[in-house]
Amino acid sequence: MNEALPDVPEVRVVGLPQLTSGFDLVDRLDLPMHLKVHGPLEPMGGEQLAQLAERISLKGRGGAGFPFHKKLRSVAEAAIKRGVRPVVVVNGSEDEPACRKDTVLINRAPHLILDGALLCAEALGARTLVVGVTRESTQRSMEAALAERGLNNGRRSALRARVQRNPVRMVTGAAASLIRSIDGGPAIPPGRKVSASQNGVGGAPTLLSNAETFAQLAIAARIGPERYGNTGLYDEPGTVMLTVSGAVARPMVIEVPTGVPLRYVLQLAGAPPVPQGVLTGGYHGKWIDAATVNEAIVSRNSLDAVGGALGAGAILPITQDTCPLGESLRVAQWLAEESAGQCGPCYLGLPAAARGLEDILNGGGPAALEALKQVAKNVKRRGACSHPDGSAMFIESTIKAFTDDLAAHVLGNGCGRPVEGVLPLFEGGRAPTGIPGGGEAEENGPSRQKIYVDWTLCRGHGLCADILPEVFQLGADGFPTVAQAQVPRYAEAKALRAVRRCPALALRIEESGAPGAPSRNLPVLSQGRGRRALGR
């Protein structure tokens, strides 16, 4: 079984280092060493900074790949229009078991990240800087870096700077989750999609980007766009930080210029000469086969062209000796467990998708395959965040990439290979399920309620799906797609409201109290009818 990656694995570089400069001298670049290695950094105006980001084609390195110059200009325009101070947020929440590049940068080169963030803060006139992290090691390193610069969260500070520590959960890495936690709420998506550039921390325009993105900006600001463009590809200049793990002899974080052949990166990490497949972009990424690996180079456009994804920069090969569907099932089950439990596509759809993949492995045949395809299709573009979309993309890629193994499981008796567990997960296979802090532990505890649909009464009004989308979705026939479901703790009040407002009185809730206590049925009648029935 593949053990969990350490916070700071081995670090390598191909060509001349940029982000990893000085790593051969010390384990962590404190401020004096940082200045010795990289030199001082002059402030820049907002438009000058945006033009720099545009000239080097800087895109977010957290997975989405949104052009940084557009985000910077959007925040500036919104702040000027509204007459408010914007906020700058560094997203260092790296919560995929297979990703460590940002964790390495925060632990070993925190001041390079702060350089980029402070450049933006000064250019925008921001008075608040927040660095979001999820690990103890990254919290310690970044808090030390802020102290080394004399930055703090004091009310009289010209720039209030602090570290926001959130739980290690896949969903806490979403921009909306980080903003919500900074505002004092739980580190889960708010259930609605809002642009941080327009309405972020405290309602102010917020420039939020990944830790590596700010570090890349700091490098470009020092050396200039021409020199920056001398490294890597013409249309994607510079370097990329990758985390290489899976079936490799030496899991590592590696800085490489764009344009380097992917097979060369795999060879450096000791991957098998002919891998069965390579997962690109992490657990919200895509599989490519061995033949495609030989065509791919390290760049966003190249990987997209061959059916892969750069994503969060995770590269994971697997050997010919393991069952690829079984390996993917372990990840699918982990992704389902990582749900925030807020919306039906995630709370119900991802576990259903994992069960569907398991059904295929257990001999469910063509019917199981078709059911899995339908679930994955239904999950996409319906969630409150990108987690269900990314998870569905991973499952669909698994089905597409390993057609021979899929046929062996669907039409035969399986591929005959064991599951070696080469794709890293957190200890125990899953991350902690609780989301502590901000009082949300109660909301995310074990469900106390189960809601039922009485099909003899249901008339397909659809009101239940409007009130309780976390549980109910409507099928093509207009009726709910589930007959019974657990109700998330945070949605219990909405569940009761759905019961009371159902025009056909077709819903009921069974609630369990403390362990061992008898369950009781909550009323099926609406409040108005209930009062009349009781003579009130």
- The pLDDT score that the predictor gives to residue 512 is 57
CA-closest candidate to residue 525, choices 500, 504, 507? 500
State how far the Cα of 214 lies from the Cα of 121, in Å rounded to an integer. 11
What pLDDT is stored for residue 88 in this prediction? Answer: 98
CA distance 392 to 412: 25
The distance in angstroms from the start CA to the end CA of the chain is 65
Residue 268: in which H helix or E strand, if any?
helix 262-268
150-167: b (≥16 Cβ within 10 Å) or e: ebeeeeeeebbbbbbbbb
d(CA 506, CA 454): 5
- Distance in angstroms (rounded) separating the CA atoms of residues 299 and 260: 8
Give the orientation angle of helix 387-401 with respect to helix 324-337, to 10 degrees: 170
Residue 188, both tokens: 């889960």
In contact, 253 and 240? CB cutoff 8 Å: no
Average pLDDT along the chain, 536 residues, taken 10 residues at a time: 77 96 97 97 93 94 86 96 96 92 97 98 96 95 97 93 92 90 88 84 95 97 96 95 96 97 97 95 94 93 94 95 96 91 81 92 90 88 83 95 94 91 72 33 55 88 82 81 78 82 88 46 34 33
As a whole number of angstroms, the distance between CA 220 and CA 226 comes to 9
* Angstrom distances, CA of residue 38 to CA of 11, 99, 130, 223, 226: 19, 26, 23, 10, 17
pLDDT attached to residue 526:
31
Residue 23: the pLDDT is: 97
Distance CA 246, CA 313 (A): 13
pLDDT in the model for residue 110: 98
pLDDT of residue 488: 72
